[in-house]
Amino acid sequence: MAKIIAIANQKGGVGKTTTAINLAASLSRMQRRVLLVDLDPQGNATMGSGIDKNSIVLGTYDVLTGKSHLAGAVTRAADAGYALLPSNADLTAAEVELLEMENKEQRLRTALIAVTDNYDFVLIDCPPSLNMLTLNALVAADAVLIPMQCEYYALEGLSALSNTIAAIQQSLNPALVIEGIVRTMFDPRNNLTQQVSEQLKQHFNDVLYRTVIPRNIRLAEAPSHGLPVIAYDKASSGAQAYLALAGELLRRGSETDTAPPAETQEP
């Protein structure tokens, strides 16, 4: 049965979609069966996986609103190596329609039940806000992976997200846990980056990944080519970082797996 991980942060611009795409591709390279669910109406994970969001026939909107079974809406992101439940701006309508539906917070969880035996991991790319879509992701998930940039407001945003997770644990998904926190767009030359990183170690050391994701040109370029960075430039520091992150995630899950040399682990 698949492990379902929501990749979430209520703050935008922290590398959430980049992490979803590249972690999915890295796990796939490690011979894991992966489904990436694009739950953001912007459709960036869809485009970054090489799928034209404007040509989608069935997607996340259709699944959440009951117009399609999940298996019928999944497509193959061939160059990326994983299965994808795509999305586009149609998903914005789902936020409104869900409010009128029974079990509105459970729609994604119910849809995933039929396919979890087909995958080892289901990664959910959440929108950068706490709305009905994000709520569906957190109710469906076993765990939350939190990408965050080491900047001034990062800890405040992380505290808000932790409170949200705690509230969902109390009411809708008692089994939900924080899978880990990953530092993204990391620049060790920046004093503020180092200071925030040290604060994260002090307060969240038990869930903080050792692997850090550096600022990297190739990582930034890859989405415009519809590719994860491992398919765009496997030798880049960004690709090696996400391979290391995937290896660390697998080791935390007690799987026997050899991670690549972790050049991008914290200094």
* pLDDT at residue number 257: 40
Q: What percentage of the chain exceeds 70 in pLDDT? A: 95
Contact 28, 147 (CB under 8 A): no
- Nearest Cα residue to 49 out of 220, 231, 177: 231
- Cβ neighbourhood burial of 99 (10 Å; 0-12, 13-18, 19+): exposed
Distance, in Å, from the CA atom of 240 to the CA atom of 260, rounded to the nearest integer, reads 7
Asked if the structure places residue 261 within a domain, the reply is no
- The DSSP symbol for 265 reads B
Tallying the residues shown for the chain, one arrives at: 267
Asked if the structure places residue 36 within a domain, the reply is yes
Asked if the structure places residue 152 within a domain, the reply is yes
Question: How many structural domains comprise the chain?
Answer: 1
Q: What is the domain extent for residue 68?
A: 3-252
Average pLDDT over all residues of the chain: 91
pLDDT tens, 205-257? Answer: 889 999 999 999 999 999 999 999 999 999 999 999 999 999 999 998 864 34
For 223, residues 6+ apart whose C-beta sits below 8 A from its C-beta are 18, 21, 44, 47, 48
Higher pLDDT, 100 or 250: 250
Q: Is the pLDDT of residue 263 over 60?
A: no
**For residue 95, what pLDDT band results from cuts at 50, 70 and 90?**
confident
Beta bridge partners of 34: 121
Lowest mean per-residue pLDDT among 9-18, 33-42, 100-109, 140-149: 9-18
Asked if the structure places residue 265 within a domain, the reply is no
Question: Average pLDDT of 89-101?
Answer: 91
CATH number at residue 207: 3.40.50.300
Asked if the structure places residue 104 within a domain, the reply is yes
For 171, residues 6+ apart whose C-beta sits below 8 A from its C-beta are none
Asked if the structure places residue 14 within a domain, the reply is yes
Asked if the structure places residue 259 within a domain, the reply is no
Asked if the structure places residue 260 within a domain, the reply is no
Global pTM?
A: 0.92
Read off the amino acid at residue 236.
S
Helix 154-171 × helix 132-140 angle, to 10°: 60
